[in-house]
Amino acid sequence: MGEKLMEFYKLISDEKGLSGKMELAKRTKLPSTRAALVPDEEETLVKFREAFKQITGKKPPL
């Protein structure tokens, strides 16, 4: 569960550090501690992709 969501947190952390992780949690309303426990549903992945793009300015890899 939440493998792809956690991958987004890893990518953001590698690029933007803790502030990036906090921004991702704020924009998706799903902190990393909960992201690991929820299923990788398409609706949630869309939120994460959009937030990733807004935070990094790059196309999401997932």
Q: What is the pLDDT of residue 53?
A: 97
Could you tell me the pTM of the whole model? 0.92
Name the pLDDT band for 14 (thresholds 50, 70, 90): very high
Is residue 61 domain-resident?
A: no
Name the pLDDT band for 61 (thresholds 50, 70, 90): confident
Name the pLDDT band for 42 (thresholds 50, 70, 90): very high
Reported as type and span, the H/E element at residue 1 is none
Is residue 21 domain-resident?
A: yes
Is residue 28 domain-resident?
A: yes
Q: What are phi and psi of 41, to 5 degrees?
A: -85, 150
- Look at the chain and report how many structural domains it folds into: 1
Is residue 62 domain-resident?
A: no
Task: Write the burial class of residue 17 (CB in 10 Å: 0-12 exposed, 13-18 middle, 19+ buried).
Answer: exposed
Domain limits at 44?
A: 3-56
